[in-house]
Amino acid sequence: MKFVWPHKLPGMFWDFIVSDSLRIYRVLPRRLKFSYWFVFFLQVTSAMTETLTLLVLSLFAISVASPEAAMNHFLVRAFLDLVPPLGDYVSTPRRMVGFTSSFMILFVCLKSVLSAITSHSTTSYSEKVANYAARETIKRFLSKSYYWHISAESSGIVHKILLRDALASLTVQLLSLYTNIICCLFLFVSLFIAQPKLTLVVVVCFSVSSLALYTSIKNHLDRAGKIHTETSVEENMVMLAMTKGVREIITYHQQDMAIQKMEHAINKGLKARIFVTFSTYIPSIIMECVGFCTIGGLVIYMLSRHIPMEEIVAAASILMLTAWRILPIVTRSLAYSVAIRGNRQRGMLCLDLLEGFAKEDPEPLPEPDPDFEFRETLTLKKAYFHYPDTQDLILKNVSITIGKGQNVGLIGPSGAGKSTLALLLSGLVSPTGGIFEIDGKEPTPSARAAYLLKLGYVPQNPLLMEGTLADNVAFSEWGRDYDRGKVLAACKLAALDFVVRDPKNLDIELAGSSGRSLSGGEAQRVAIARALFAKPEVIIFDEATSALDQANENAIRNTIHNVKGQMTTIVIAHRLTTVLDCDIIHWMDAGRIVASGPPSEIIPRYEESLNLTEPDPSLPS
């Protein structure tokens, strides 16, 4: 155990307590800064009333034991001189006892009400800080470019956002620590005036014990807090991977291995979490022993010195009242100090994120060009592309032109670059090298924004938001009134048979704790209906029929065929039946387009390249 010398305490207090509070305070908006001081004022006021309770109870005890002594107390005399009628009323011992009893009841009731208000305000403030951290980080997160979102930095930020509750708890813990320190100082000064020698002994005992306790566990807490933070992030990553890969886990019967991975991630930080949680109880256990050992030791010492019993009883009474009021405050101060060290690293991760975002000057989202129109072609010229955090090219010298109203298929093995090519054609990202053009011109930011409004996208794993099925289909008009007739028409085009049979199913709840769970095929058809509802001019189907049976795939093929000429469709598929009706198919491999042509020409060549031993029975002979 490394001892902490007293002269180093101010620096330690500044480094780990004050500087953190200043950092948090700077990043808060004005309204939360005002609330910060309001909560601090309430906490200090509540702490002071807790302290004054000691005086009120002492006065009550004195008045019961000796009403005359209570009536002659200098504080009582000063108060009664301010209110002469009250002084006349409490002129008898019985009335004095009645007055102190009534005053004690009123004061304790008011103190309890103030304590309840303070607790509610503190809890409310904590939630407001957590909500602000979530709102601000998610707002900045969503304002980033899509290219940034496909980088490793994006996934790391998600885990920091999830630590917003730790930041909120740290904020309140720091506030509460300040309050308890102020209260301790006020109590010790008050008691020192009344009983300087006894108070000095108590201060020395409590200070030495607190310092020894804090010193003995602070380094362990720092290590445990670091492990807790790291393993929390790891647990989130493992859980996210499991939820995304549940299909593979079930397909390959790896449920037991997935559980083992999760248990390993949890157990890795188990001891640290236990220590961080248990350490908050250590101060109350230790300081209670210290407090009452101090009282008992002083009484034994006074007895050994043959001090009169009247003085011993008076001193013991004061010490007992002191311990009753001071011990909880000292214990809470230590407990907050311990909790801060255990929680600090997790809260600082979220604070670092907020501070980083605050230093940035995010570019405003461009306003869509109201005069933009897609008239003729989408073109990529000699396009190269690599994802963030890697220099490996996914697309290599790709040139492609898609005419308006054309039905285009993209086929090829996994990793060939099909989805990446569709990503560039969507306009969400720009090619690393080469040119993307709309109607022969590179789009301006406002033209690109307008183009995105004319785009529909159907992913393989669609997003389902909490809300009704109709809300999910009308996602492009989220938060606004939408036409349910248009929703139903889109569901029919997407072959959502259970909605077609009973339109009341538009109102079933999805995704929430009590919502209906959709199959993979149903979720994909909801995504298709969502894209069709928006009436896009360009629609991208990214393996959008992979979870559909043959009958539903045929229905979607009919839908794609029916919108031919009205929409430009780009269909990415492993199932060759999906692209049979396309005008042209581009066969991709290793980031290049190796062949282009009509389905009747490209599909047989592609099948041959795959060395199919048997032809696909779903294909026409």
Strand, coil or helix: 404: coil
Q: Over range 454-480, report the average pLDDT.
A: 83
Q: Over range 600-605, report the average pLDDT.
A: 88
DSSP character at residue 429: S
Q: Which of 472, 581, 583 is nearest to 534 (CA)?
A: 472
Task: State how far the Cα of 59 lies from the Cα of 105, in Å rounded to an integer.
Answer: 13
Q: Over range 482-506, report the average pLDDT.
A: 82
pLDDT at 7 over 50: no
Confidence band (pLDDT; 50, 70, 90) for 516? low
* Three-state DSSP string of 526-593: HHHHHHHHCCCCEEEEECCCCCCCHHHHHHHHHHHHHCECCEEEEEECCCHHHHCCCCEEEEEECCEE
Who has greater pLDDT, 494 or 397?
A: 397
Please tell me the predicted confidence (pLDDT) of residue 494: 81
Please tell me the predicted confidence (pLDDT) of residue 1: 41
pLDDT at 613 over 60: no
Task: State how far the Cα of 401 lies from the Cα of 596, in Å rounded to an integer.
Answer: 11
Task: State how far the Cα of 557 lies from the Cα of 462, in Å rounded to an integer.
Answer: 19
Q: Which of 36-45, 186-195, 220-229, 562-571 has the lowest mean pLDDT?
A: 186-195
Both tokens of 548, joined, read 């559909």
Please tell me the predicted confidence (pLDDT) of residue 34: 92
Average pLDDT of the chain? 78
Q: Over range 166-187, report the average pLDDT.
A: 81
Which residue bears the tokens 């034991």?
Answer: 65
pLDDT at 460 over 80: no
Q: Over range 573-586, report the average pLDDT.
A: 84
CA dihedral (165, 171, 174, 176) positive or negative = negative
Q: Over range 296-322, report the average pLDDT.
A: 73
CA torsion angle 39 40 43 47 (round to 10) = -170
Q: At CA 485, angle to CA 483 and CA 491, rounded to 5?
A: 110
pLDDT tens sequence across 81-134: 777 776 677 777 777 778 778 888 888 888 889 888 988 888 888 888 888 888
CA 99 to chain centre: 53
pLDDT at 594 over 80: yes
Please tell me the predicted confidence (pLDDT) of residue 5: 47
Percent of the chain with pLDDT strictly greater than 70:
82
The domains found in the chain, sorted by start residue, are 15-359 (1.20.1560.10), 376-454+574-609 (3.40.50.300)
Task: State how far the Cα of 549 lies from the Cα of 546, in Å rounded to an integer.
Answer: 8
pLDDT tens sequence across 122-173: 888 888 888 888 888 888 888 778 887 877 777 777 777 878 888 888 888 8
Question: 309-359 vs 196-244: helix axis angle to the nearest 10?
Answer: 40
What Å distances lie between residue 137 and 31, 160, 166, 366, CA to CA?
Answer: 18, 9, 15, 20
Confidence band (pLDDT; 50, 70, 90) for 325? low
Strand, coil or helix: 92: coil
Please tell me the predicted confidence (pLDDT) of residue 546: 66
Q: Over range 571-583, report the average pLDDT.
A: 83
Task: State how far the Cα of 455 lies from the Cα of 298, in Å rounded to an integer.
Answer: 82
